[in-house]
Structure 1
Amino acid sequence: MGSGCSSDAARTVGGPVTAEPATKRGAPSKLVGTVCTVEVSSDTLSSEGVKGVPPHWKEDLVDEPGPVVAVDLEKGMAYLKKRFLPLFPRAKLLTFEQLQEEHAELIGASVILVHNMPPPQGVNEIHKALFLRHLEKGGGVICFGSGCCYMGFNLRCLQLVPFAAHDRRHWNRGTGKVSLVETQFGKKLFGSSSSSSSPDCFACPSGAESGFWHSPLVLPLGNGEYRRKGGPFDIEGGVALPILEYASEMNECGAEASLVGMPAVCLAELMPSKARVVSVGPHMEITPTPEGAAWLDAAACWASSGLKQAAGGEGKVVFLSRPVFSLESMTGTDRDGGRLRQLPCPSPSVLSELALGSDALQALNSATLEGGEETFRVPEGKRVVALDLGKGEETLTEMFGSVAPDSSQRTVMQPEQLKEEGSLKTGRDAVILHGGMANEHADKLFEVRGREALRDFVAAGGAVLGICAGAHWVSCRNLPGWGHIAPLVPHDNSNWRRGVGDVRVRLTEQGRQLVGDVGGLESDFTLRYANGPLNISLMEESFVNFQPGRPRRAREEKEEDDDNEEEGEGEGEKQQIELEGSGAIPLLLFAENQSGSSDNVQTDKMKGHCACWASVFKGGGRVIALSPHPEYAQTPVSRNFLRRLLMWLLG
């Protein structure tokens, strides 16, 4: 296990290992290793003796990052969105001027992300004054790549944090991937994945891969060097501690210093303000791996631990090992691939205003369950629109014809028709996105700007029902072309092949309030399943941030969105879909008792997960994401349930 100083570096120094005085608050008394540091004036390597992780770093650690701010220093909002939202999905994206003038309350009360920077032409005194005030008030900072140099002690930089890039003459080390490995300090603070399985504990992997694009070799300064050079604070423990170090080489330019064994990610606490700073030398924010994202999330939690309003002031986060749904709480997450967490459910008073009326429920039961199929009609002036994404008109008519028997109240529409003005009528149409493959849906809709048309339709008050692949597509999957219409993301999507067959489902209390008991059933009923997603609720801040196109705060700035164009995301969408209320509403669960379900469906992995979600938006839009298939192998009960969903969508 490395300690952050390579053997080559130690031999280069050739001098005695120095130790800072013992820190307060019960620091260990014995040296446990050395950290490679840089002497700024001569740009030579040195080392500092360290006495381990300060005990309060572990004791104060919060469960999730506090308020995170990605501040635009000159890259543009599209760059911030592309680089940082996958890692910090609830972050605020602000220009420097917005932070300074409109959100001054976040100075000293947030973790600021400092992005990669070109070489500065001179010290920006306005930047320096704001960041100094932020650190003096105990705020956190995470610097990426040359952002570490900008905040640190390289030429014409701000000289605030105890870091500097070594050997900048050899800046062109190369591009590609590098391997990182945890240090003894990283393992002590966050623990490797083998040490704990509890969802409430950090269990960072033993290493990670990272992108490397001519990244600077960012090294810590010892406290003595930092203070001699004008550093305005003292460093807790005398030097920053590396939590990840390089385990592979990148040196196409023949630099003398090897990457292997050198610090890659370091933590420094600045005294007396207790501000916490993280330096991330390699480009871990560019196409982050799950392992790298876990380490950055842990580092952000550490940087947030000193904030007076840790974890956003929301209290302790309850992480879950399995889904939980009740009248008061439901299961959700803050990102695509994020940990399960407990979220509050919409209040009963909100649900009562959205519920189907008793007359509609009676008519549905009479028509479907009592044999009067020919009497069922959707409300006058309404229409069911099946969007053909590959099934064909004949198949879609067969699948959904019995749901709306009157042919004048249903139609099949081709994706190309979405471009025609007035093809969909808000307040009249409920669009069905059928099953299949979600990536094929994304391709077909992207070709005709169908995503933009459907998002505008919902924002203006329209209704959409996504079934199976359609339910996957309306979610906020972090993939090009996905709908980002409903505040949902699929859980455990790498294991999406769960089988095809019958499953047992049951209405939630919220589902009973909105669409009533299906045929008076108090227990479970059967629906056909075919590898549908296990969607979970996405927190509102993340849903807002992951709207396609430019970030909301940049829409009035009319900046070019070149980054999104490169990703195939530049559809020019400007319509925001805003939630009404507190997020998605769980209507249906995969039952705990799966007796009678098909043997070839992995129901053990599905039990307790939500099978159907409803969302309501400002402007009157409504969306339902349904994982099973009530239109397949129809029974009176499954048909009754599907009709109830359509009636609810049509208001």
Structure 2
Amino acid sequence: MATRVRAPLASSWKTHRGAVAPTRMGGRPSTKSISSPMVRSIRRCRRVWAMSLHRLPPLLLALALAAPCACAEEERVGLYAGPGADAADLEAIETAIPRVGVTVRRVLREGLREALEELDVLVVGSGSGTKLARGLGVDGARAVTDFVRRGGGYVGVGAGAYLAARGYNAHTHVLELVDARIVDPRGWRRGSGTVELEAIGAARLPARRWVYQNGPLFAPARSHGAVPYVAWARFASDIAAGDPRRAGVMPGTDAVVRAAFGRGRAVLFSVLPHRDPATATALFDAVCWAAGDGPAPIPPPLPKPGPDAVRVAVLDDEGCIDGCVEGSFRALGTPAGRFFVRRVSGAQVRTGALADYDLVLLPGGSATGQHRALGRTGLEALRRFVAQGGGYVGICAGAYLAAVEPTRYGQGLAAVRVVDTRHWKRGEGTVELEGLPGLAEVAGRRPGKLRMLYANGPLLEAVPAPELPPVRPLARFLSDLHRDGAPAGVMPGKLALLSTTYQEGRVVLFSTHPELTPGCGSLLVHAVLWATRRAQAEAPPASAGTAR
């Protein structure tokens, strides 16, 4: 594998300024380390000539391939053919990559780390992202991330792009080479066809129409400490044949993105450039760029919180539903600039990331999954953060996690127990709540009836607990959901919203989903302000009426 020293940053995909100076393992210097107009011209000519070979008659093609080529050193490209890869797609990618200045070979899961040592770029094509992730496993994923971090290149197409973006379920938190979230992951089966793309900034597209087949839709993930990606193209048309309810989601989302990861580079295609000769040049350009040809992208500057911003860390890992995470981002986007919100993983919590934040928010999903994602060290860091004055807001699964019972996942941040855990899957829908005194101070609503989305959240009941103060009830359930065998009459009267303290920190728990209920996002805003002790100075007056 090449150990690469990256070139000075520049903004254009095809601009070649400065030197990219790799050294092959074993001490053999690369011609890429020569920074001269002649070498840069040779590399540009090689690319143009290679792509023109597809248009030559067979006789001229044979003569061209037999002629000596004064090219810079060959790029060594590996095509991943492990479990989850699509055999027909592998052949299409092999056909699309010219064999001039490039050697291509297939690599398998067995011996992957050793195979990567002999490569400059790994290409992962279409297939099943979940099967690819499972096939790689922990060791295979670590081999790929180490390869890119040390200077290798990664090109993901279709499923391979899903694999390298930010994970969206328990199986896809694998590589995460690019800080891109998957927009509407539940609607991934949106269909196949031809879509239109539009270039972003100085990028140039080989064609406007591209082949698409259930690829990911990208948007910035805004993760803790992550380098933002640079988008090359966005969708200008829509496909929603698989689910008409998804109509209108695709346009404006990013289709081709690229980013630095450690000393390496990654390019992700939602579309399939190798399926059309008119767009195949883009795949070849991506391979060459990922291998170190040309400058790295200039990423947007890392955002920094304003001096008065409330810094919020939202857990996004196993057990966290993407829609709930993104809903929290949307709710805390108002008022603009008041909150600085970033995603954190369980691993980042374990290594002290919460020290950079005022509050941690655990979203809807699975309390058991979040418990696994954080691990013992992360859970200890979480409790210590709140005990030392940090705020905690738990929504649905995050509320389950904060209870004292059941002890298999409860962290004892609040003196409540979860009632009837055997029938936790009691239903989803809009429920009616009764707001209690104290709701205005903590959540910005006067006492009274309100309606909010519920999705199998905990039914909470106050209990005495050693060294924990009594909780303050803020809202109780009036409705009763009892599907899937759950007994009737258990839900009414149980706590749906409460506040408390945990040593020096403040805690707010929602069994319901304010971030997903139209008109209720302000409850989450107020809860965050109260938990970070900003409510008295900054919260707008408590609103009257019912959220419907």
Give the TM-score normalised by structure 1. Answer: 0.32
Which protein has the larger Cα radius of gyration, Structure 1 or Structure 2? 1
